[in-house]
Structure 1
Amino acid sequence: MEDAAETAIEIALKEFEGLEWPERERLLETIRDAGVLWLQLTGGEPMIDRSFAPVYARAYELGMMLEILTNGSRLAAPRVLELLTAHRPSKLSISVYGATEASYDGLVRRKGAFRKFVRGLEAASEAGLLFDLSLIITDRNAHEVDAMRALAERFGARYREYANMSPTIYGGGESLPSQSPEFLTRRKPFTGCDAGHTSFHVNPFGKASICKIGREPNIDLPGEGVTGLARLGGIADRSLLRQGGCTDCALQDTCGTCMPLVQLYRKAQAPLASYCQHGHPRRGVNQ
């Protein structure tokens, strides 16, 4: 088990929207031309995308190491298994939302989701696919943590535990009340990251940003091409500067929240204690 980290729960049913295949193929080639070696496919659930298979196969052909973040619901599909066994991912990370049908289906608000998840795990395991598990701990499944760990051990999978929820990428705070207080962890001091300099995020419409949290401002990657990516470093440097009430904070050196994430918490009107040491002044000063 590794240290817990930040996560947000995607619980709504969604349909994929984005670029059509010719534009996406050109986008993948642009990403290749930029020197990208590691490509993470995520969502929501990336496998609901009707072009998931050609995108995955083309990225593999272009020489990228591929990571898939998935809920596992599509892993038992024969076409998916054929694709992933023919072109094995460098990393396959599967989210776990509970150890029983009641807690899992209740959390994701989708009847039958747990059964699809288990079938996916079994199919991936039988196909010899290596995967790790992300245990999403909330107030609805905290009582099943031991059972969730046992599930990982049953499949011989490494796992990480995620309990600290962040707002949605749109600044929604609906996931925050689901946190289980007993499993929350204190963030490590934020000392900077490589966002915008050696890594970047691209949404389904080809808008490239410094990361999946800091999506504004962005660049039109299909329109600007590789040269446009050079602007992301400057965007990152400006975005990570402390702003507003954080500018002169005496606790900056021990703050564990980057500025783009602070902005999301503020937009979600989250309690100060969920992202700022001033919500726990004694603990912040003493540590």
Structure 2
Amino acid sequence: MHGLIASPFLERHLILRPGHEGGLLIPQPNYEALRGHDPTLPAPAWLASAVRDQWDMDVTGWPTGTFLLVREPSTWGYSRASWEINLGCNFQCKHCYLGLKVYSGMPLEAKLNCLQIMAEAGVLWLQITGGEPTVDKDFMPSYRAAYELGMMLTISTNASLLWREDLLEMFERFPPYRVTVSMYGAARDSYDELTQRKGAWEQFTKGMNAARNAGLPLRMSVIVTSDNAHEEADMVRLCQQWGVEYNVFTNMTPTIYGTGESLTAQSKKHLRMRKPFTGCNAGHTFFHTDPHGMVSICKIGRDDQISLPAEGINGLARLGRIADRLMLRTGGCSGCQLSGSCTVCRPLAKHYQEAKAPLKSYCQHGMQKAE
């Protein structure tokens, strides 16, 4: 199984090592040389030297095919994607933007076919999410298939099952790029209250202890809500004690269906004005795939989805036009004099409007009035 990946990345060419941040930027001729290199022959001297300097990894004399996967170029121009393997979850968090946690999705064969299409489209970085991805019965074979296709994998999880030996053994053999863990409190009462699952705190800490002991590349998403706002400093302190990177998230969003039940979890004290939205690559170099293989420009803008199982890779040809249309300022946002410094994209503003959310939760006009 490969330990290194050589791949195009937009207009560049990289060598990456699963389980590690950073990488090597190589000239296109070097990449083309690797494409044409006999995998039974030893690695080129320049590659062996670069790998040794970057990762202290000695591949001198090794047949290239024993450690390097060379990905083919893609004409589609995509580099990143996210994939909800299933919306089912073993928690029922009050703030969750997914709304109802419905266990549904594709059979394994269709999942593997969608992963193949993603790789053909050029996806190098893939986020596998849910729901809770590790509860899906096909998570392990799907993860391994994505790894074998040469993707750098991020798992978004609540950590409740990271103590499982089969998962830890798989991650050791096929290292993820990152494991992003959502943190919902610093003590049992607040954690179980927000997740609406008795024993959730114990599951979380058991999983985190196992993940830390296994040396998984962890990053924490500290979620601050009305239930745990008094523990914000404690959550941050716990991340620091663990020596784990973290980001703090305080603004709740409507569900993907445009309903507002998730907004009730908002800690009013922690509602923050976001930075100005300056555009994104959604639909152009990035896309999102739901549990049924329906592709949208991102997790938020799910209008006009494209079916990968039905249309295959050619369906992606429409995605850029869909993205350009969904990003236009329409409805209550058309003609706004503050749109040049708006803090949310149009698809997210649409969800807030559908949920009849207070202006101050997403709009500069509301923030100005609140002040």
Fold match, TM over 0.5?
yes
Retained in 2: the 8 A contact 1:272–1:279? yes
> Comparing 33-42 with 76-85, which one deviates more in the overlay?
76-85
Q: How many residues align?
A: 277
Partner of 1:88: 175
Letter of the 2:139 partner, please give it.
F
Matches for 1:178-193 after TM superposition, within 5 Å: 178-193=265-280
* Superposition deviation, residue 14 in structure 1: 3.4
Following superposition, the deviation at residue 44 of structure 1 comes to 1.5
Contact 2:124 2:151 in 1 (8 A): yes
After the TM superposition, which residues 255-270 of structure 1 pair with which residues of structure 2 at under 5 Å, given as runs?
255-270=342-357
The 8 Å contact of residues 66 and 89 in structure 1, kept in 2 or not, is answered as yes
Hey, what does 2:317 align to over in structure 1? Answer: 230
Q: Describe how 1:1-287 pairs up with structure 2 within 5 A.
A: 9=96, 14-281=101-368
CA contact (8 A) 1:10 1:44 kept: no
Give the letter aligned to residue 155 of structure 1: W
1:274, distance to aligned residue in structure 2 (A): 1.3
Deviations 1:69-119, CA, capped at 9 Å, x for gaps? 100001001111111111111011000000000000000100000000000
State the shift of 1:177 in Å: 2.1
Q: Deviations over 1:185-220 (max 9, x none)?
A: 211111211000000000010000000000111111
CA change 1:13–1:169 in 2 (3 A) is closer
In 2: Cα distance, 1:246 partner to 1:11 partner: 24
Secondary structure of residue in 1 paired with 2:353: helix
Q: What amino acid is the match of 1:225?
A: G
Please, which moves more after superposition, 73-82 or 8-17? Answer: 8-17
Report deviation, 1:11: 8.8
| Alpha-carbon distance, 1:12 to partner | 7.2
**Which whole-Å CA distance do the structure 1 matches of 2:134 and 2:206 have between them?**
15
Q: CA deviation at 1:247?
A: 1.0
Pick closer, same or farther for the CA change 1:241–1:12 going to 2, 3 Å: closer
Aligned residue number for residue 5 of structure 1: none
Larger radius of gyration: 2
Q: Which amino acid aligns with 1:56?
A: Y
Could you tell me the TM-score, scaled by structure 1's length?
A: 0.93
Name whichever of 229-238 and 272-281 sits farther off. Answer: 272-281
Shift of 1:245: 2.1
- In the aligned structure 1, how far is the partner of 2:200 from the partner of 2:99? 13
- Contact 1:11–1:107 (Cα < 8 Å) also in 2: no
Corresponding residue number in structure 1 for 2:13:
none
The offset of 1:223, in angstroms, is 1.7
Give the deviation of 1:45 after TM superposition. 0.7
Structure 1 residues 271 and 282 mapped into 2: Cα distance closer, same or farther (>3 Å)? closer
Structure 2 gaps, min length 5: 1-94
Residues 101-110 or 121-130, more deviating: 121-130
Aligned-partner residue type, residue 214 of structure 2 = A
2-structure distance, mates of 1:207, 1:156: 38
Report the Cα offset of residue 281 of structure 1: 3.5
Give the counterpart letter for 1:69 in structure 2.
Answer: S
Measured in 2, the distance between the counterparts of 1:11 and 1:282 equals: 30
Asked if 2 retains the 8 angstrom alpha-carbon contact of 1:12 and 1:108, the reply is: no
CA shift for structure 1 position 50: 0.5
Aligned equivalents of 1:194 and 1:28: distance in 2? 20
Aligned AA (2:150): G
Match of 1:4 in 2: none
Whichever residue aligns with residue 137 of structure 1, its letter is V
> What secondary structure sits across from 2:261 in the alignment?
coil
Structure 1: stretches of 5+ with no match in the other structure: 1-7
How big is the shift at 1:122?
Answer: 0.3
Distance 2:359 2:217 in 1: 40
| Deviating more after overlay: 182-191 vs 72-81 | 182-191
Aligned-pair identity in percent equals 50
* CA-CA distance at 1:52 after TM superposition: 0.3
CA RMSD of aligned residues (A): 1.6
TM-score using structure 2 length: 0.72
SS of 1:230's partner is helix
Q: Check 1:189–1:114 CA distance in 2 against 1; reply closer, same or farther (3 A cut).
A: same
Deviations 1:233-262 (A, max 9, x none): 000000000001211111111111111001
